[in-house]
Chain A
Amino acid sequence: MIRYGVDVGSTTAKIVSLTPELRYRIRETREWETLLEGIPSHEIASTGYFRHKIPHRVAATEITTAIYGVREYISDPEVIVDIGGQDTKVIDVQRNNFIVNDKCSAGTGAFLEFIAHHFGLRVTDLSEIHEKATRTIKINHTCSVFALSEVVSHLVDGCRVEDLIASIHQAFAERIAQMIPDDAGEIVLIGGTAQNRGIIRALEEILGERIYTPPNPQIINALGALRYGEEREEW
């Protein structure tokens, strides 16, 4: 019987169970084995980049598990945006369609990590710093490396770090918005980046729509794997 959903992605590994209430643990990807100690493979539904590598009874892609996971909180999502460590997926649930951006790091979690690292910050601090911004500046480059040099030149011109972080969030959100269908109604954001309020606000402004984020957005795929696994067992 499936009891655990496990999502091992490019940067973090998550395990979720619902017995009876939601429990989860998160580790760095290289430590994923520690999460599975003592758990038999026939109790695991896996997802994420390593879904076929880890022991499992059922495996599914993050596209499918995102839909199952989000449905735990929002019954009828139209579009799910999953900003992962190394790619971003936009799933048009209504049209059974999806786009994956995995060719370019701008618009993925890696870009935010890159920026945070440059300023000597943790990626989890970015949202709070954004709150202190008083203005945003247009970042023209879409490539991460060139965007960073642009940011550095603004610093030289005397721009505040807070304003630059907000500007980076704005540029990031513009990239993501391009992947979202024009007529999207209920948009749900998942993945670790969904905890960044600055990005959510920028996206809402660009799209003119409210963005929903489920609680614990970083474990939605693991939760979805669990639900999908349970359903597959009934087939």
Chain B
Amino acid sequence: MKTVGITALVPPELVFACGFKPFDLNNIVPTSDVRPRNKLCAWTAIWREEIMNGKLDLDSLVVVAGGDCHNALVDGERAAEKIPAFYLFYPFDGDKDYLKSQFERLSSFLGGIIDPEMMKTVKNVKKELIKLDQMRVRGMVSSELGFQYLISGSDLQGDPTAFREELSRIPQEKGDRSSMHRVALLGVPPIHHDFHREAEKLGLHIAFDEMPFEFIRHTGASLNELARDYADYTFARELKYRFNFLEEELKRRRVDAIIHCTQFACHHTLEDGMLREYLQYPTLTVHSDLPGPVPEQLKLRLEAFSEILWRRR
């Protein structure tokens, strides 16, 4: 099976249906020790560097360019010198017909749909991920364990059947999380691989991971269904649309506070002011750059944030 490297939200339903195995390039970044020379955002620069150095076994690349990130587009264009690349553009206005035409072009790039049943298979796995997400909301699964699987909603670790089996074996974890603060992680996923573990140690239970939730909540068993669902990808839409969505989701999950993860040279940093004005929760903004374990300065901020939330109780 050929492998296609993907960035952010590329429907795995479609990739598998075209006979390809998706591989989310961002998942290699948090544990990477690559330090690219020419970089803005470390996420895109690191996967670009790995592709340029021939370190990844990929047959092609799909970059979400429109509605996600211009840095990804440019680093993707550089990586396209090594492997064939496709640039996916989500509509800003949620136009489903436009998105369907984008998905049609993507499937032609991948050689066309050869196994449409795979869409249903992926859809069923995503149902299991939604259940896992709910278990974490109820505190039955730790922040870290939940995140570890939810973040794989983008590529199902390249094998939906094996991934589904793994999901069925996830144990409910012991430990009372009822006294912890319930926190929503908004913006980009943290670039520090132990972020969720460290946050939970400091009394912060992550009850919502924005990006992974986008990975698992959109699905469909046909091109039409996919276009209808994925057109709601909030990161691609205007900020107000995304904030309205978040407002409801945060209420539903009864979160106490927000951690807004931003990244050096990323537009999410610019959004911070508006996010704080719109979503009236105690908010900690985290500004990261290079991957690795959570640095001491960030631990201090998390600990102080946890103390502030205690004082508010």
Residues of A within 8 A of B308 (CB): 63-64, 96, 98
Asked if A100 and B300 sit within 8 Å, CB to CB, the answer is yes
With the chains together, A15 CA to B63 CA distance in Å?
56
Interface members, chain A 37-67 (any B CB < 8 Å): 60-64
Interface members, chain B 270-313 (any A CB < 8 Å): 282-283, 297, 300-301, 303-304, 307-308, 311-312
Task: Report which of A63, A87, A102 forms a contact with B304, defined as CB distance below 8 A.
Answer: A63
User: How far apart are B209's CB and chain A's nearest CB, in angstroms?
Assistant: 23
Asked if B282 and A64 sit within 8 Å, CB to CB, the answer is no
With A64-B311, A102-B297: A97-B304 Cβ-Cβ less than 8 Å: no
User: How far apart are A203's CB and chain B's nearest CB, in angstroms?
Assistant: 23
With the chains together, A98 CA to B286 CA distance in Å?
12
With the chains together, A8 CA to B303 CA distance in Å?
17
User: How far apart are B313's CB and chain A's nearest CB, in angstroms?
Assistant: 10
Asked if A98 and B304 sit within 8 Å, CB to CB, the answer is yes
With the chains together, A96 CA to B258 CA distance in Å?
12
Asked if B297 and A61 sit within 8 Å, CB to CB, the answer is no
Residue on A nearest B303 in the bound complex, by CB: A61
Asked if B297 and A100 sit within 8 Å, CB to CB, the answer is yes
With the chains together, A60 CA to B308 CA distance in Å?
11
Interface size class of chain B, counting residues whose CB lies under 8 Å from the partner chain = 10 to 19
With A60-B307, A61-B307, A64-B307: A100-B301 Cβ-Cβ less than 8 Å: yes
Q: Mark B62-94, 1 if CB is under 8 A from A, else 0.
A: 000000000000000000000000000000000
Residue on A nearest B300 in the bound complex, by CB: A61
Asked if A63 and B307 sit within 8 Å, CB to CB, the answer is yes
User: How far apart are A94's CB and chain B's nearest CB, in angstroms?
Assistant: 12
Asked if A96 and B307 sit within 8 Å, CB to CB, the answer is no
Residues of B within 8 A of A97 (CB): 282-283
Residues of B within 8 A of A62 (CB): 304
Residues of B within 8 A of A100 (CB): 297, 300-301
User: How far apart are A46's CB and chain B's nearest CB, in angstroms?
Assistant: 13
Asked if B300 and A96 sit within 8 Å, CB to CB, the answer is no
Residues of A within 8 A of B311 (CB): 64, 96
With the chains together, A61 CA to B310 CA distance in Å?
13
Task: Report which of B282, B297, B301, B303 forms a contact with A96, defined as CB distance below 8 A.
Answer: B282
With the chains together, A100 CA to B300 CA distance in Å?
10
Residues of A within 8 A of B303 (CB): 61
User: How far apart are B283's CB and chain A's nearest CB, in angstroms?
Assistant: 7
- Interface-central residue, B303, B304, B311, B312, by most chain A CB under 10 Å: B304
Residue on B nearest A99 in the bound complex, by CB: B285
With the chains together, A160 CA to B308 CA distance in Å?
46
With the chains together, A61 CA to B312 CA distance in Å?
16
Interchain Cβ contacts under 8 Å between A and B, 19 examples? A61-B300, A61-B303, A61-B304, A62-B304, A63-B304, A63-B307, A64-B304, A64-B308, A64-B311, A87-B297, A96-B308, A96-B311, A96-B312, A97-B282, A97-B283, A98-B301, A98-B304, A100-B300, A102-B297
Give me 20 other A-B pairs in contact (C-beta within 8 A), A64-B304, A64-B308, A96-B312 excluded: A60-B307, A61-B300, A61-B303, A61-B304, A61-B307, A62-B304, A63-B304, A63-B308, A64-B307, A64-B311, A96-B282, A96-B308, A96-B311, A97-B282, A97-B283, A98-B301, A98-B308, A100-B300, A100-B301, A102-B297
